[in-house]
Amino acid sequence: MAKKVKATLPDGSVLEVDKGIRLGELVAQIGPKLAKEALAGKVDGKLVDLSAPILGDSSVEIITFSSPEGPEIYRHSTSHVMAQAVSELYLGVKLGIGPAIEDGFYYDFDLDENLSPDDLEKIEKRMREIIRQDLPFIKEELSREEAIKFFKSLKQPHKVELLRERGDERVTVYKNGDFVDLCRGPHLPSTGKIKAFKLLSIAGAYWRGDEKRPMLQRIYGTAFDSKKGLEEHLYRIEEAARRDHRKLGRELDLFTLSDRFGAGLVLWHPKGALIRKIIEDFWREEHLKRGYEIVMTPHIAKLDLWKESGHWDFYRDYMYSPMEIEGQEYVIKPMNCPAHILIYQSRTRSYRDLPLRWAELGTVYRFERSGVLHGLLRVRGFTQDDAHIFCRPDQIEDEILGVIDLVLYMLRTFGFEEYDVYLSTRPEKFVGTVEHWDQSTEALKIALKDVGLGYQIDPGEGVFYGPKIDIKIKDALGRAWQCTTIQVDFNIPERFDMTYMGADNRQHRPIMIHRAILGSMERFMGCLVEHYAGAFPTWLAPVQVMVLPIADRHNDYARGVGDKLRAEGFRAELDVRTESVNKKIRDAQVQRVPYMLVVGDKEMQSNTVAVRDRDGKDKRGVDFDEFLWGLKEEIGQRR
């Protein structure tokens, strides 16, 4: 009689099963629906294939596509199928790596011929054949030396290189059909489990991300457990391309990125600069209401400051090389903190002065490699909506609560209602004491709990001087964008020997809170453009109203309408081109102008306007003063 072991399921129920039973067989006992959906499993918290045996009393969890780990396992298995298809179609291909990534997967190939989009169709066709064969994914364990010898025989030098760097004495490979790949797993039980996939694009990628190594060809793809899921994802990709801020930046005449000027440096056109001004004016207005004071600091400073702050040791790779000025080394500032500290130290501070809240729209410069630059989202010169709060230890929680309240108000005003919130904890390399780190981390946790913001712990991702809260906003397509960061810092005040005079007439150390709400103006603008697909809410639109006379005889009346709008503070333009009114309307809609006022004989006679919005809704015979009143109300509510 076979020995029995206990399998404890997530709901607490316990199954007695034969020792050595395969996980897939246990799933079949639980029920046919789960057996159909099962992709892999967890035994005592460790991810395993469904072929894994249960050898003792264990906690058991079944992984499906809806599990957190499910999509990654599903897509990584699909990347193996793609690699098998490429290996069969292009003899002599050398394989790189093929991980799952967010919403998809990729695989890197070392090929003599350049792949084209037409090749993707051929590869997809072969993948479908492999899926129809329902080949099992078979795991095998080898010694590292056996694996090196095996992949040498297959003439796979990149796999051999990876193996030589592995410290493991034993490694695993996965076979599906005649294809073998180095992999830790787990994988789907068979290729037939893959229901819907699509290869998306081809790009170049240096082996191991090193520009001195060979350039490989990277194929990106995605996979879902249903055709509907795939179609919805492909729609989101198409919609994201339509909203791409780089394309819309050109179409709407907002900004230029020019290699002639310098990679990663933004040239703002009048309309883009105007939107920035509107955002910045709102930012300053809200900060002043909440007790902040505005400061301004230069773009360069002595290198010694960055050595004192610790940035030179921890951040040097992202700083530009020092320049010599009159025998002193200066750097272009990568952040504003040391300048604000020197303002603090310009006079003696009392406990009665605190908190001090100093805000700056400070332009900083960081070296980003050309390969990671991306429109407005990753640049080398950017303006942070920066602020530093200097406070007593007993004020930390109230100050963090105040920051979070301001964050939520501003983000919601810009139309963002959904967020991913992360609490980043102590990294491996840090400065200060563990006690201070624990104290500041706890203060952030309490503040998040008090405002009811759910969050995830992001272990080890704090900055070198303190833990932080990161808030990622969700746009209209559900994509997350990093904007807000709130950091508690016990360490830099220590390094700069910052003090205040306490009620006990003794010197005490202030706490420093670093915070940015929108992150950088460049990234936030890119995010706004894509969130609204260029159709900014009326209060942000660079042109709020376009006045369109039907014929030349209506120009004077149209000018009068435009003059009245501008006199009331609205951003209005007049289109007196000798084009048809339909052409003028189309052009204004392409520019995403919120309102078009069409004026002709009837409007002149009745002192009215015909109102057309950018979505195509028409309303004729509108009293001009009534339109003005409605526009004022809309903009006053920042809509």
Provide the annotated active-site residues. 337, 366, 384, 386, 388, 468, 514
Cα gap 324→576, rounded to integer Å: 55
State which H helix or E strand residue 437 sits in. helix 434-451
Identify the sign of the CA torsion 222, 227, 229, 230: positive
**Burial class of residue 455 (count of CB atoms within 10 Å of its CB; 0-12, 13-18, 19+):** middle
Q: How far is CA 190 from the centre of its chain?
A: 33
**Burial class of residue 308 (count of CB atoms within 10 Å of its CB; 0-12, 13-18, 19+):** middle
Cα gap 624→628, rounded to integer Å: 6
- Cα–Cα separations (whole angstroms), residue 306 to 1, 35, 390, 510: 72, 59, 19, 20
Beta strands, E only, 511-614: 511-520, 545-549, 572-574, 595-599, 608-613
Q: How far is CA 213 from the centre of its chain?
A: 28
Residue 396 CB partners (closer than 8 Å, separation 6+) = 440, 443, 488, 511, 513
Cα gap 275→542, rounded to integer Å: 6
Identify the sign of the CA torsion 392, 396, 398, 404: positive
Backbone angles phi, psi at 319, to 5 degrees: -105, 150
Length of the chain: 639
Phi-psi region of 31 (alpha: psi -120 to 50; beta: other; left: phi over 0): left
Specify the pairing of strand 511-520 against strand 572-574: unpaired
Side chain identity at residue 341, one-letter code: I
In this structure, what DSSP letter does residue 370 have? G
**CA proximity to 36, closest of 155, 190, 156, 158:** 190
**CA proximity to 161, closest of 208, 105, 205, 206:** 208
In this structure, what DSSP letter does residue 601 have? H
